[in-house]
Structure 1
Amino acid sequence: MSQARQALVVHPAAPDMEEAERTALSECIDAALDCTQACTTGADSCLEEPGVTHLRHVIRAQQNCAVICSATAQVLSRFGSDFGPTPASVLRALDDVAALCEDVCRVYAGAYAHCRVTADSCARVRAAAAAMLALD
């Protein structure tokens, strides 16, 4: 059981949450945190490649995706606050940024393993965001 899942189980608002929602929420938080790490490391890996200039747009996409994934994980972790339900706009923004990052990284996935890892992580977070949006 992931840390996010454990936190959702012991949260005082947990009894009020449907199991499907709790599962989707914990999976989205985990995917967002994993994608934050993959994008941060991916951008750093790109910086180590020779002739890094051609990877500038990849690095920027990874940096932006890491920031949005981290912020989304934080917002999703506050589900019991007065903030109310997670706005669909947060999940759509996550999907938009991760889609761009995935597309850009997929171009280089054959040449650079770190771009493949990042693209795969973006695909996972997109699937998790879609599962959350499907609950509404």
Structure 2
Amino acid sequence: MTRTEMQACIDECIRCMQACNACYEACLKEDGLEMMRTCIRLDRECADICGFAAQAMAQGSTYYGELCLICAEACESCGAECAKHETEHCRRCAEACYACAGACIALVDASVEAHGSPTA
């Protein structure tokens, strides 16, 4: 795993965090707020986890691999929920979530391949 690969994952985490924050804000303004409750909750959780994962990677945390796996799981959940809605902000959020999940998994896979463990 190279620094370039890690930076690409950090960038995807930040993009996803921004998309989740935008989706969260837009969902709060939607009619039928009750229908958006799960989306709003997952947007907040995913944004927070993506931000934390990006920070951990930038700081060279020993636990970045485990955090990336958690981030990928949160992104998959948020992306699946956003994909249920027809709004443009939810579509953009789902795309960002799936891209981030993929980047996190790719980074962990590269680390395992290089070092035999998710972190090294």
TM over 0.5: yes
Please, which runs of 5 or more residues in structure 1 have no aligned partner? 1-19
Output the CA distance in 2 between the equivalents of 1:54 and 1:62: 14
How many matched pairs?
Answer: 111
Distance 1:74 1:87 in 2: 9
SS in structure 1 at match of 2:2: helix
- Are residues 1:107 and 2:88 paired? no
Alignment of 1:114-133 (within 5 A): 114-133=89-108
* Secondary structure in 1 matching 2:68: helix
Larger Rg belongs to: 1
The C-alpha deviation readout for 1:93-125, integer Å capped at 9, x for no partner, is 0011001001000111xx200000000000110
Distance in structure 1 (CA, Å) of the matches to 2:65 and 2:3: 16
Does residue 98 of structure 1 match 2:79? no
Unaligned runs of 5+ in 2: 113-120
Aligned equivalent of 1:3: none
| 1:30-71 CA distance string (max 9 Å, x none) | 000011100011011001111211100000000000000000
Q: Once the two structures are aligned, what percentage of the paired residues are identical?
A: 28
Matched with 1:44 is 25
Partner SS state of residue 24, structure 2: helix
Aligned residue in 1 for 2:118: none
**Contact in 2 for aligned 1:21/1:132 (Cα 8 Å):** no
**Separation (CA, whole Å) in 2 of partners of 1:87 and 1:34:** 18
Instruction: Tell me, yes or no, if the aligned pair for 1:36 and 1:69 is still in contact at 8 Å.
Output: yes
2:35 to 51, 54, 69: 54
Task: State which of 59, 76, 91 in structure 1 corresponds to 2:57.
Answer: 76
Q: AA paired with 1:115?
A: C
Aligned residues: CA RMSD: 1.1
SS in 2 for 1:118: helix
Secondary structure class of the residue paired with 1:107: coil
Q: What is the Cα deviation at residue 88 of structure 1?
A: 2.4
